[in-house]
Structure 1
Amino acid sequence: MEIVKVQEINITNITSSELNHHIKMSCDDNRKELILNVNVHAMNIAYEQKWFKDLLNGAYINFCDGDGVRIGAKILGKNIIEKITYNRWIWELAEYSSKNGLSWYTVGSEQHVMEKAIAVMREQFPDLKIVGHHHGYLSNKETEKDLVIDIKKKSPNILILGMGMPLQEKWIRKNIRELNFNVALTGGATFEYIAGTAKMTPDIFYRLKLEWFYRFIKDPKRLFKRYFIGNPLFFWRIFREKINS
């Protein structure tokens, strides 16, 4: 697989269909792999926190899920062939998993949101094997210990964490050695989108590469710093990298 390097982060140049196929091969071969993703927010965290950068670069696959990163790569004269966003790809992965008998264990969101997401998935994909699920609020060591034990016992093919970035990455980094799975994915707000508590970006915003702006107008207080400070900072670093190279 081709690797595109942006701000010292290795990004796997891969399509969603290739990613699905790779996940199946990993499960068939009983491998244990971490598959992560980057957007501008992730790149900014990686710039400031070495452990996060090391985790991204240590993942077997680290795919692009943001237009900002693709534009940044293009400025550097590099091409990322596809943006893979969880709120759209998760349905493709669910159908693919259902057809190929790949089991899921899901962790994230509030309990009622997770239960709604599971119900939606089971209604749309009756053959999808969801062997376990848990909310993402692991407020004490006992709850976390019980979750680790359950995942280890259930041994899912695919473990999906939707706890928000970088909490989900921090959690998998801490517990990966104790867990049994073939592929671990970090999906952010995936379960909110499945449950319908987070609204899908309208196609016009998606086509114009303005998903970030749609999210901002839906939650301006939380996302102002991420987008109106984080995005310019990312591109300033991109132009600095271009000049230095």
Structure 2
Amino acid sequence: MSNNNDIEAIDLLGVRIHSLSMNELNEYLVESIRDNKKCTLANVNIHAMNLAYENAWFRDFLNESAINFCDGEGVRLGAKMKGKKIREKITYNRWIWSLGELSQRLGLTWYLLGATEKSISKAVATLRGKYPELKIVGYHNGFVDSDSLPLILSEIKEKSPNILCLGMGMPLQEKFLIDHSDKINYNIALTGGAVFDYVSGEFKMTPDIYYRLKLEWFYRFINDPKRLFKRYFVGIPIFFLRLLFIKSRSKS
């Protein structure tokens, strides 16, 4: 499993997306750490797909990542339109707890980077409260400037975490890895977006009913309409129009 060639992948708008379960993702992560690999496991949703379509550097980042797992129903539907199946949607606000339990059990070390100082501090306290033996070797908020950057890079290099979890939002977290990955030590880099805000309670966890109805995006929107209106009510139609355009062009 540590070879990503063994995992089914599809191409959607020029982005490679892997079809795997949460258990298989955990297995790949653990085996990669045991093999002392250095790689990125990236999440792909419609926002990521739109960024990749419009920015070649972002598309290259995703296609150079070891794994791109699907964390949005829209991407699964897009794959279905191409006659492909993505087996499972894996969202950080649920996966983080499975990963925390697994990391505590195996003694994996974490470094967390992202969110506000209030949110990241609360997230660390929550994780340590739920997993007392989880080894969080360092953390820092996501407001990185010329003064704090050298200290952050030095600490991550020194701590050499098994898991470097970034919660800076797209595309800042991806740009951080492109610019600085060669200066720091880690096994697995995760692009976690708003994960620390969910762990800390700053963002509300999606109720199960919305999750089952595949309406997580709508619940997020009604809780943060100003920030998410363009992403959802402009970004989602654009994504599907692009798919339909390419599909119609291939038939002509």
Same fold (TM over 0.5): yes
CA-CA distance at 1:80 after TM superposition:
0.2
CA-CA distance at 1:112 after TM superposition:
1.6
TM-score when normalising by structure 1: 0.98
Q: Pick one of 165, 173, 183 that aligns with 1:168.
A: 173
Aligned position for 2:225: 220
Separation (CA, whole Å) in 2 of partners of 1:45 and 1:29: 32
Q: Pick one of 81, 84, 88 that aligns with 1:82.
A: 88
Aligned position for 1:111: 117
Q: Pick one of 36, 48, 52 that aligns with 1:30.
A: 36
Does 1:193 pair with 2:210? Answer: no
RMSD, aligned CA: 0.8
Aligned position for 2:18: 12
Does 1:210 pair with 2:183? Answer: no
Q: Pick one of 143, 152, 157 that aligns with 1:152.
A: 157
CA-CA distance at 1:75 after TM superposition:
0.8
Residue 141 of structure 1: SS of its match in structure 2?
Answer: coil
Q: Equivalences for 1:32-181 in 2 at 5 Å?
A: 32-138=38-144, 140-181=145-186
Aligned position for 1:242: 247
Residue 110 of structure 2: SS of its match in structure 1?
Answer: strand
Ranges of 4+ aligned residues in structure 1 off by more than 4 Å: none
Q: Pick one of 225, 233, 236 that aligns with 1:231.
A: 236
Unpaired stretches in structure 1, ≥5 consecutive residues: none
Residue 147 of structure 2: SS of its match in structure 1?
Answer: helix
Give CA-to-partner distance per residue, 1:2-31, whole Å, 9 cap, x none. Answer: 111111100011111111111111111111
CA-CA distance at 1:95 after TM superposition:
0.4
CA-CA distance at 1:244 after TM superposition:
2.7
Aligned position for 1:184: 189
Separation (CA, whole Å) in 2 of partners of 1:242 and 1:64: 21
Separation (CA, whole Å) in 1 of partners of 2:120 and 2:232: 27
Give CA-to-partner distance per residue, 1:93-134, whole Å, 9 cap, x none. Answer: 000111111110000111121111111111110111100000
TM-score when normalising by structure 2: 0.95
CA-CA distance at 1:183 after TM superposition:
0.3
Separation (CA, whole Å) in 2 of partners of 1:147 and 1:192: 20
Separation (CA, whole Å) in 2 of partners of 1:113 and 1:88: 18
Separation (CA, whole Å) in 1 of partners of 2:122 and 2:193: 16
What is the percent sequence identity of the aligned residues? Answer: 55
Separation (CA, whole Å) in 2 of partners of 1:88 and 1:34: 19
CA-CA distance at 1:34 after TM superposition:
1.0
Aligned position for 2:4: none
